[in-house]
Amino acid sequence: RKEVEQDPGPFNVPEGATVAFNCTYSNSASQSFFWYRQDCRKEPKLLMSVYSSGNEDGRFTAQLNRASQYISLLIRDSKLSDSATYLCGGTSYGKLTFGQGTILTVHP
């Protein structure tokens, strides 16, 4: 079983839609969790860290559920520019492990 499981999608949504991504992790020792965004042929860029209390940054909301071992990312009012691959990741003793990535395409 992969350490971090993520639905690869693809997700195709119209502008303005709300879309949610989920990841599950198997390593209960994982300490910190993150969402990254990766555009085609570019490096991953940190989108946000994920906390049990939930955190929000504009249209993006991330949540961590340690009891069920999953993390989520909610994007509201999708923009064309949100089209990218979204990677969830968890760290354990300094080692960051990514999920497979979810491809999001936002269309007009």
Partner 1 sequence: DTEVTQTPKHLVMGMTNKKSLKCEQHMGHRAMYWYKQKAKKPPELMFVYSYEKLSINESVPSRFSPECPNSSLLNLHLHALQPEDSALYLCASSGGPGDNEQFFGPGTRLTVL
Q: Is 43 in the site for partner 1 (CB under 8 A)?
A: yes
Contact in structure between 39 and 84 (CB atoms under 8 Å)? yes
Q: Is 83 in the site for partner 1 (CB under 8 A)?
A: no
Q: Is 92 in the site for partner 1 (CB under 8 A)?
A: yes
Name the token pair of 3.
């350490």
Q: Is 87 in the site for partner 1 (CB under 8 A)?
A: yes
Contact in structure between 88 and 6 (CB atoms under 8 Å)? yes
Q: How far is the CB of 99 from partner 1 (least distance, A)?
A: 7
21-40 binders of partner 1 (CB under 8 A): 31-32, 34
CB of 17 or CB of 32, closer to partner 1: 32
Q: Choose which of 18, 46, 80, 107 interacts with partner 1 (CB under 8 A).
A: 46
CA separation for the pair 84, 96 (Å, rounded) = 20
CA separation for the pair 66, 27 (Å, rounded) = 11
Q: Which residue in 17, 43, 24 sits closest to 88, CA to CA?
A: 24
Q: Which residues bind partner 1 (CB under 8 A)?
A: 31-32, 34, 41-46, 49, 87, 91-101
